[in-house]
Structure 1
Amino acid sequence: MSEVTEDNDFDASNGGSPDASGNGASEPPGGGQYVDPNGEFSRDMQYITTRITADGRDGYPVEPGRYRLAVSRACPWANRAVIVRRLLGLENVLSMALAGPTHDERSWTFDLDPGGRDPVLGIERLQEAYFARFPGYPRGITVPAMVDIPTGQVVTNDFVQITIDLSTQWTAHHRPGAPDLYPEHLRDEIDAVNDEVFQDVNNGVYQAGFAGSQEAYERAYHRLFDRLDRLSERLRTRRYLVGDTITEADVRLFTTLVRFDAVYHGHFKCNRSKLTEMPVLWAYARDLFQTPGFGDTIDFVQIKQHYYEVHRDINPTGIVPVGPETAGWRTRHGREVLGGHPFGDGTPPGPPPPHETVPAARQ
């Protein structure tokens, strides 16, 4: 779990720059400056590290119906939590608040809901849940975030730990046939793969896109594509990143790959190759996209709206591209010949609840 570089829980007295960060990152407010003029983009990895656990060690025990997962479909870090929740079948015990694809200088807003308020939390902005626990919270108002419904207070926004805890702490509420996304005997390997993918791919696209110098951009660019080449070699003879089934590692890589051609290739200048021009990774990504719980969480329209409308110092006009076409995501991938089974001895999740279904026109 070494993506996080700060292990202490948030302390409001620690200071930090106020922003309305998106994408699970400490970024500037919507419409502000995202490119670091000093050169290399550096992600603030200090999050609220309170955990929701089976034994309630931090004061927040796992309880059906008590917590609400706040996300935006636009955000790759939040997308991880949406996928894991779907795969594990936690929809009936952990409700989900859907923020819109853009945010302003204050925070993500629930502008998709009637009246612009989340129907369960009763708030217009996710910022309100953060301030309810930490008045004047000075760091990024990020998604995903777990909110305690009775108090309206944010519990954690530690996106790295949230999905691990859904797999390991919420087991009493997993659906029958749910996959083990973080099997104990593979955790060291999963963690090692996740570290490399985070540094060079998940965060690497941002380091390229938000670079403030040619040198910083080229360093990130080469790290990104060197790692993608290595991942292609790894996946050439194996269906999944670790073991014979989907794991946490596949979830984390997928959320970047699925956004690659729509956003990162052009908007972030990650343009050596499109995903569709990298045969192994393109087939791997389509395999996951067509696996229940992955592609049915993706809203390409909201993804593009977020990046192209919010990052105005990169895209000053706010014009959102029409393409690329998405029909290719449903074409045959042929990865079955490599063996393995997405859910091992388990079963795929059922269809998403009607109120959480992404319209086909947006996929």
Structure 2
Amino acid sequence: MIQLAQLKQQLGQNDDARKQVQQAADLLATIQRPDRQIQLLRLNADRLMLQFDQKQLPSRECYDRCQKLMTASRDLQKAGDEPALKKFLARLSLLMADVVETSPKDTFENRLPLVGEHLENAISYFEQPARKDLHLVWQQAKVRSRLAGILETQDLQDKADYVLTQAIEQQRALVHEIPESPVLVLSLLTFLEQRMTLEIARPDLEAALETAQLHQNFSERLFLSNPNEFRNQYLRSHERMADVQRLRFRHEAAADHLREAIALARNDHSRQQQSILAGLLKSYAELLFEGDRQHSTAPEQLKSLQQAITILNESLQIYEKLDTATESDHDSPYWKTVALKHQLEGELDKLKLRSLERERTTAPPKLDAPKPGTQ
């Protein structure tokens, strides 16, 4: 009954899950001399009820109740370390991390290190039961990814990278074990994007390029299995490849990937996809403007700027069709696109003026016409 309640909770069916946990707790309370297993079931029921009540309780009170459950489990820990107990301790540690992380400011001292400590405990507790449960391996990998994010926030880049690498290795092993599961591949893509962000921040652009290529390989696999369902993931992989190549000043390679992403976005006329397309067009125009500076001749620069402005006009038309132009604030994608268009139009005017000045200075002087009667 408790396991079913946990499943319903994961599916978001909290009301049904709460009822089942309460029924289980009432049944367990009737047992006069509970053995070790019954005691553990009671602790699990209490943990789940606390999880349901988390948002209604003050953070400090919720955390104190978690600590009481941890203390109550110590007698069970002395009697032996069975997988069921380890799973309980891991999930309780995750609940404590959630309570601290979502608490109001100044509720806990050293909030982020405390969250990290509970996440590390959860990873450690998951170790034994995960050896025989692939679902727990996945949970452990997700906790590692979350811990990496906390460590990055504390500027502990090397430790974050190490923890995230462990998560990626675990997830790749799971994908190899169950290749037909798109859910596992989607988690892997999330971890890879997280690592790309770390590598770009370091910066280690060659490592970021390698990670982006790996991301594209797995997203392409998803896309080929179901183009309609996984179009966004494949589009996103091209977008991230473009980001990395742009930072490496490989503008042609970046442009190739953005064109691929734009083509994918054009094949879907949903509102969400059209909004993505408008953003991609703006990115492509920015890239043309950046690459334009590498051109050696004025005609090439002129052509690039004109093309970029045409692309921005298309982006603005999409936003206007979606009615986001009138609804958005001045820091929205629409107004940023308008600002970029004005900037490029200004650059185009400057370029035309320079070209005219150059023509005047390089043109040969006009000769006076010969006077009548002179040879």
TM-score normalised per structure 1:
0.32
In terms of fraction of residues, the more strand-rich structure is: 1
Greater length-normalized contact order (CA 8 Å, ≥ 6 residues apart): 1
TM-score normalised per structure 2:
0.31
